[in-house]
Amino acid sequence: MKKNEGGEWRDVFKILEKQVFSPIIKLFVIDAPKVAKSCQAGQFIILRIHEEGERIPLTIADFDREKGTVTIVFQEVGKTTKQLGAMEAGDYIKDFVGPLGEPTHIENVGNVVCVGGGVGVAPVHPIARAFKEAGNHVIGIMGARNKELMFWEDHMRAACSELLVTTDDGSYVRKGFVTDVLKEVIESKGKENIPLVIAIGPQPMMRAVCNMTKEYGIKTIVSLNALMVDGTGMCGCCRVSVGNETKFVCVDGPDFDGHQVDWAELSRRQVYFKAEEQKALEHHECKCGCGGGK
Binding-site residues from annotation for [2Fe-2S] cluster: 235, 238, 250
Q: Is 11 in the site for other proteins (CB under 8 A)?
A: yes
Total of residues contacting other proteins (CB under 8 A): 46
Q: Is 230 in the site for other proteins (CB under 8 A)?
A: yes
Q: Is 19 in the site for other proteins (CB under 8 A)?
A: no
User: Which one of the spans 139-147, 171-179, 192-200, 270-278 is the region binding other proteins (CB under 8 A)?
Assistant: 270-278
The answer to whether 39 and 99 are in contact (CB under 8 A) is yes
- Nearest alpha-carbon partner for 103 in 239, 234, 221: 221
Q: Is 229 in the site for other proteins (CB under 8 A)?
A: yes
User: Which one of the spans 17-25, 33-41, 58-66, 67-75 is the region binding other proteins (CB under 8 A)?
Assistant: 33-41
> How many angstroms separate the CA atoms of 177 and 185, rounded?
13
Which residue lies nearer to other proteins by CB, 91 or 102?
102
Paired residues of 242 in beta bridges = 245, 261
Q: Is 251 in the site for other proteins (CB under 8 A)?
A: yes
The answer to whether 26 and 20 are in contact (CB under 8 A) is yes
User: Which one of the spans 93-101, 125-133, 180-188, 193-201 is the region binding other proteins (CB under 8 A)?
Assistant: 93-101
Residue from 95, 153, 168, 184 that binds other proteins (CB under 8 A)?
Answer: 95
Q: Is 68 in the site for other proteins (CB under 8 A)?
A: no
Which residue lies nearer to other proteins by CB, 100 or 114?
100
> How many angstroms separate the CA atoms of 235 and 41, rounded?
24
Q: Is 279 in the site for other proteins (CB under 8 A)?
A: yes
User: Which one of the spans 31-39, 63-71, 139-147, 189-197 is the region binding other proteins (CB under 8 A)?
Assistant: 31-39
- Binding residue positions for FAD: 73-75
Q: Work out how close the CB of 97 gets to other proteins at its nearest, in angstroms, rounded to a whole number.
A: 4
Q: Is 243 in the site for other proteins (CB under 8 A)?
A: no
Site string for other proteins, 45-64 (x = CB under 8 A): ---x---xxxx---------
Q: Work out how close the CB of 62 gets to other proteins at its nearest, in angstroms, rounded to a whole number.
A: 17
Concatenate the DSSP letters of all residues of the chain into one string: -EEEETTEEEE-EEEEEEEESSSSEEEEEEE-HHHHHH--TT-EEEEE-STTPPPEEEEEEEEETTTTEEEEEEE--SHHHHHHHT--TT-EESEEEEEESPPP-----SEEEEEEEGGGHHHHHHHHHHHHHTT-EEEEEEEESSGGG---HHHHHHHSSEEEEEESSSSSS-BS-HHHHHHHHHHHH-GGG--EEEEESSHHHHHHHHHHHHHHT-EEEEE-----SSSSSSS-TTEEEETTEEEEHHHH-SEEETTTB-HHHHHHHHTTTHHHHHHHHHHHHHHTTSS---
Which residue lies nearer to other proteins by CB, 189 or 284?
284
Q: Is 203 in the site for other proteins (CB under 8 A)?
A: no
Give the binding site for other proteins (CB under 8 A): 8, 10-11, 34-35, 37-38, 48, 52-55, 79-80, 94-100, 229-230, 232-237, 239-241, 246, 251, 265, 268-269, 272-273, 275-277, 279-280, 283-284
